[in-house]
Structures are given as structure tokens and as C-alpha cells.
Structure 1
């Protein structure tokens, strides 16, 4: 299936890079790296290094050094050593220039240090004495392992280092303290063989009993993406083995955060179409029938909050800005750990041949249900919109539509008390689900969601079945009247 927001491929796509949301840029743009820093990643080592080179060529050494030092804030990176070397070259060039100026104007040379330099020398002398005391004691500082802490990557050291990356395979359920001890011991042993090398050890969880506890050279960079901890040790410059535990929860929660965002965006799109503009507050989506676009505001999975902020703070929950240009910018996670989420509307796909219903958003399946269809091929093909979201819908006959229904006009997706009709063709044209299945589906289908009824197997690529979807449901849900007693529905049944 081709998604509605991605129906045709643009021939310029191969020459553009997606920075964020709806912003694309060509690498040939002379301001490319400045825009990467401004819109994508303010700490990008590559972007700062390239800008530093630009200023260095222009002779603006102050700005060049600023950007090179920004590179040093991120470690490890491929540009770390190059930035160190560039700073050293600039300093040497500046020193040579100063020497030439001194020879050219000898009368300006001073035989006595200015007061500022004297003060600086005294401060440096005191600091050196303090360091000697710290490292000469019975329990030197370097023996302390730094845990659960992001260490500073910047450094004023300007000589080159060579990284030696390794991977250590860790058994599941290993306690953090045991991991720290193993990494510390292994780093010290490796440093004996490579004293001038920067040791990097990535800890990766392994289910293979034969590899657990082993340390090997890192040959596959993809392993670094699954690392739960990383250790760094460079004995030539720092006696401390630095250990940092990584956020392993991000990959688990990112798909759920995407589903939560697109659930609300789908409802916002429908509301905007019905009322000519988005609501001033998200509460407008949570009303009694027939304006129950949603049954609740989902939790943002990374932070476990569904609070709403007017601007991004990173404190959790969601950001809602009704004046934004598109759904992606209008509603998104208020969490620094979540990547930009494209708008992929929540919709239903029905395969008549297989009697299957899927609730889908992007590449993820929220629910996959077996259904019953109309006898004599009465269930129509085509694309429909959810017009009514009803609990306990009333028909001309008692219990005609089960416990809940999603009205599409003349037909509906509704529950049934005749579970033998599921998987067969017995209805008058409606799509039937068991009452349990329709109740699971109901809160994740917003008003205005599209329903695609197709005859046979979908041509779309396989989707990933999303687990733990109920983690998006808040413990406290708004009290809505979604069961209109005075409305009689005349779906085909």
C-alpha cells in the first residue's frame, strides 16, 4: 500500500537530506553545515569541523578554534583527532606570527611579565600542587570508577590519539556493579599492551553462552548501536577508567511514542476538516458523542506522561501548538530522547479474502483481528471514513450491533453476539468483530480515520506487530458519554 502522505516519489529525493520535519537541504548548499547545526544537531562534530575549516581558510582563527573546540565536546568521533590537530596548527601559526612581530618591533618587547601573567602562573602552581597531593595519597583518585555519569568529552590536550575499539559480551541480568568491575579490569589489561592507545570497550548483551564474558576487537560498527555501556581508558592522559551506561529504553519506547503521536494527529486532522481549523485546546477532541474524536490522550511512552505543553521543554508528555503548519509540527513528544516522528495516519485495512482486519500506522500494526463479512459479497469495496464512534449502539432490533461500533455510513465495523459468524460471510454487509476485539480496537480508532476495504491480499510490505500497545492508555481516562440512548443506527448489520 502506498501511504497517502507518500504516494509518489520525488526525483529530487536522492539529492536531498532530511534535516527535520518538513525541512530538506542539498549537501551542495554552501550553508549546509550551518543549517545542520541550526536545525538538526547543534553538537554535530562533522558540521563544526567543516565550519572550523572554512573560518581557518579565511584567516578567522578565533571562530575556527571555537568550532574545533565544539568538536571536542563529542567523544568518540571521527573528527576528534583532526580537530585537535587543527587547533595545534593554528596555535603554532599564531605563535610564529607573534615571534615575527617581536623581531620586527623589538622596542615593544617587555622584560617584565605583566601582572595578569604573574597571577596566572601562581594559580597554575597552586593547582599543580593540589594534583600532586590527590594522586600521591594512599587511595589515588584514578582508582575510582565513574558510573552512570556522562563525562566531559572536551579536552585541551592537542596531541593525537589512536582509538582501539573492543566489544565485551555480557550475560543478561548481569548487575551493573559486576559490569563495572569487568570493564575496569579489562581496560587495565588492554592498556598494558597498548599504553599509548585510547581503549574503548562497548558492552553488548549476548544470549550466546559461549561468547559471554569474552572481549574481542570491534569489527562491526553496528554492534555499537546495541551497546548498553561503554568504557574509555587512555592511560597516557588520564588514569581513570570512565564508564557510562547508555539509555537502552529508547529503542523500546520510540515506536509507541510514534503511535501515540499519530493517533492524536489523525484526530486533529479530522477535527480540522470538520471545523475549518484545529481546536484551541486538545480537550475539544474529548467530548460526548458525536464529537468524541478520541477516547483519551495517550501517554508519551518514553516519559509515561500525557501532559500538554505549549512549547518544547523536554519535561515529558506532549507539545501542542495549534498554529503550526502541519500535524507533525502541531503535535509531538515533549521528550529530548525521541526522534522526529513523521505523520503516518492511523487507519484500518481490511482483506475480504482472508477475513482479516489490521489497524495500521506507518510500518506498525496496532491490532490484527479476524472478522466476519456480508453474505453474498455484500460488504462493499472502497475507502471509507469513521463517522461515528459508539459504545452500545442501538439498532432497530435489540443487540444488533454488539457492544461497540465504528460507523462508516451505511455499514459499520461493530461487535456481535454471534461469534460463529467471525471468519465467515453471514452479515447483511457490515464488518463484524467479537465484542472483545471491537472493544480493544475502539479506543485506538479516532473519528475521521480511514478504512480501506480490499478484495484480496495487500500489496504492501509486511508490517511489524507492535506489542504493549495498551501502555499508551492512561490510568485515569476522561468520563465521556459515548453511548447515545436516543439515537437509533440503521447500519446494514
Structure 2
């Protein structure tokens, strides 16, 4: 890491990762960043400071980090001293007998014992082994970071800023095993020994064809998936062609009515949302909105952040979707942060 690389932890306060006291200072300004607590604990453990490493893992676990809880359990297992057997005086005959018995048992089960020990030791020594971050999760987070920057003029100070309560819920979830840093006009994501920057990722977008009555989710120019939709009835055209997602809502107006179980508000009371009338999908029957089945909008919802571009056009896209049966489901489809008591007057 370059010595002149700094991170803006709060407005007008910069820290350098090369600073010896970087972690403590960082956590002073961002006391809820569990990912950095885990990273600091890893450094402390590498330096042999098990007690303080355990303390930081405990703090992260108390803030709801399941990764910290797992690492804390493994760290305690590694730190626990093995019970010391007490020896008594034995006769030479008894010692010889026990030695012979031990060797006999070793011959019979040596191979099984060795393989079992090998598996167990490798499980406990990997206290910080990260679960795999999928390409889809990287795409989702990178798109949200881009949209956050476009709307706020900077990248978020920490990744958890993307999962703030409504109406600032850019995403429903971010993987705990992603390590994120930002400074000025750039960011880096580190996962599974891979480092990703904003230049490496292609953004997500939505395209709706009123002619084919399909909604397409795109990554760059690649069509990831398409879904059948209902479009506005004749005489009620959508008054714009280019817009963005301005709000993400789980269970709009309670989630049991005509707006379905999820929704993306656009503008002028027009939204992309679910429906309690699945038989209407594929028809031109709405008052101005785009409807998907509840199952389809729930599949799309965790992928799309606030600020994601939406294009309304007539012509269908000709390329085949990468995922013919819909986007791969993500592990956290929504959270309570996506709910709101706000009442929506979408055109349905």
C-alpha cells in the first residue's frame, strides 16, 4: 500500500493505513464497523496478542456479526490449553503393557486417526476463513457504490452505509466478508484474495420494452435476466423514457394489496412493483406503472439499488439472457430497513 494513500473516515479527517495506530484511530471514528474490528483482531492474533484480539471479536459479535462470532469461537478453541495428564509411578511391566497396547491400536486405526486429526486441525486453525463472495454479490455492491457516489458526490465511509433505514436503503444486505476502503473519488473491495476497484465492475440497469412487455436486468450491455410485465393501458403512456430508482420498498402499503410485495419508485407516482393479480401479467392494463409477479419482483429486488437507471422503450432487446430462469437468488432478499409506514399513491 502506498504511504500517501489515506482514507477519509469522517468529513475532513484522514487516516493512513501505514500509521501504526491506524486501527484504533479508525475504530474511534467508526465504532460500529465490524469488518474493521475483525481485520484488527486478525492483525492482533498474528502478533500474538490473543487477549486483545478476543476483545475486538467480542465487540464485533455483540454488534451482530456472525463472522466475528465464528472467529471468536475458533480463537477461543485455539487458545484453550490442553489438559495435562497427571502421571503416577508405574511398574515397568505396566508401562510395557500400555506401550504395546498403544502401538497395537495405532496400527489398527492410524490412518483413520491421522485423516480425522488433519481435518479437525485445519477447521480450527482457519478462524478467519471467509465464505465465498459470489460474482453476483460483487456486482450488486459495486453498482450500489457507483449509484451512491453519483447521488452524494462521494463514496460511503463504510459499506454498512448502503443498508441504512428507508429511504436511504441503497441495498438490503452487504456480505460481511467484503473488506471495503474508500478515499476521495475511489474505493477498493477485497474478497477471497481478490481486489476490485470501480474500474473493474460494470453497472446494473433496467430496460422495459412496452412492445414485448418484458423487463430486462442488464450488467453493462449483457442481459442478465428478463421477466414478463404488465404495461400501461392504451392512452396512459409513461411520461418519461429515462429515469432512476428513487426508492426501494418492501411490502408497500402493507404488501397485501395491488402494489404487491416489493416496489421501486421512479417518479411522478410511477413505480415498478408486484401485484396481487398475477393473471394481469403480460397485458396492457396498468394506470402507468410496470407490474411484475410478486415472485419476480422479489427476485429482482435485492439486486437493484437506489439510483439504478431505468429506461422505458418500445423495442425488445434481441440478445438471450444469461440466466434464462431469472437472477440467481441472493442470500438476503430484504431486511426490515426496506420497510416503511409511508403510504404510496402509485398509479398501479
Secondary structure in 2 aligned to 1:321? Answer: strand
Conserved? CA contact 1:386–1:407, under 8 Å: yes
- Choose the corresponding residue for 2:251, options 392, 407, 418: 392
CA distance in 1, matches of 2:244, 2:299: 19
**Does residue 480 in structure 1 map to residue 340 in structure 2?**
no
Match of 1:442 in 2: 301
Match of 1:283 in 2: 160
Match of 1:263 in 2: 140
- Aligned-pair Cα RMSD in Å: 3.1
Match of 1:307 in 2: 177
- Choose the corresponding residue for 2:264, options 395, 406, 429: 406
1:378 CA drift (Å): 2.3
Secondary structure in 1 aligned to 2:292? Answer: strand
Conserved? CA contact 1:295–1:443, under 8 Å: yes
Match of 1:378 in 2: 236
Match of 2:169 in 1: 292
1:362 CA drift (Å): 2.7
Conserved? CA contact 1:363–1:463, under 8 Å: no
Would the alpha carbon gap of residues 478 and 433 (structure 1) be closer, same or farther in structure 2, given more than 3 Å must change? closer
Conserved? CA contact 2:251–2:339, under 8 Å: yes
Match of 2:182 in 1: 322
Conserved? CA contact 2:214–2:316, under 8 Å: no
CA distance in 2, matches of 1:339, 1:405: 30
Correspondences of 1:117-196 after superposition (within 5 Å): none
Match of 1:43 in 2: none
Match of 1:348 in 2: 206
1:457 CA drift (Å): 2.3
1:462 CA drift (Å): 4.6
Would the alpha carbon gap of residues 478 and 444 (structure 1) be closer, same or farther in structure 2, given more than 3 Å must change? closer
Conserved? CA contact 1:286–1:480, under 8 Å: no
1:473 CA drift (Å): 2.3
Conserved? CA contact 1:359–1:367, under 8 Å: yes
CA distance in 1, matches of 2:334, 2:299: 17
Match of 1:67 in 2: none
Of structures 1 and 2, the larger Rg is shown by 1
1:366 CA drift (Å): 3.6
Match of 1:80 in 2: none
Secondary structure in 2 aligned to 1:443? Answer: helix
CA distance in 1, matches of 2:292, 2:185: 38
Conserved? CA contact 1:363–1:464, under 8 Å: no
1:370 CA drift (Å): 0.3
Mind listing any 5+ residue stretches in structure 2 that lack a counterpart?
Answer: 1-131
Would the alpha carbon gap of residues 415 and 370 (structure 1) be closer, same or farther in structure 2, given more than 3 Å must change? same
1:483 CA drift (Å): 1.9
Match of 2:191 in 1: 334
CA distance in 2, matches of 1:467, 1:342: 27
Conserved? CA contact 1:286–1:478, under 8 Å: no
CA distance in 1, matches of 2:190, 2:327: 17
CA displacement 1:17-55 (0-9 Å, x = unmatched): xxxxxxxxxxxxxxxxxxxxxxxxxxxxxxxxxxxxxxx
Conserved? CA contact 2:162–2:169, under 8 Å: yes
Question: Structure with the greater relative contact order (CA < 8 A, sep ≥ 6): 1 or 2?
Answer: 2
Match of 2:33 in 1: none
Match of 1:491 in 2: 346
Aligned residue pair count: 214
Conserved? CA contact 2:204–2:219, under 8 Å: yes
Mind listing any 5+ residue stretches in structure 1 that lack a counterpart?
Answer: 1-252, 299-305, 310-319
Would the alpha carbon gap of residues 478 and 323 (structure 1) be closer, same or farther in structure 2, given more than 3 Å must change? farther
1:293 CA drift (Å): 0.3
Conserved? CA contact 1:373–1:430, under 8 Å: yes
Conserved? CA contact 1:404–1:414, under 8 Å: yes
Secondary structure in 2 aligned to 1:273? Answer: helix
Conserved? CA contact 1:379–1:431, under 8 Å: no
CA distance in 2, matches of 1:432, 1:307: 35
CA distance in 1, matches of 2:149, 2:313: 28
Return the TM-score normalized by structure 1.
0.39
Conserved? CA contact 1:390–1:405, under 8 Å: yes
Return the TM-score normalized by structure 2.
0.54
Would the alpha carbon gap of residues 339 and 393 (structure 1) be closer, same or farther in structure 2, given more than 3 Å must change? closer
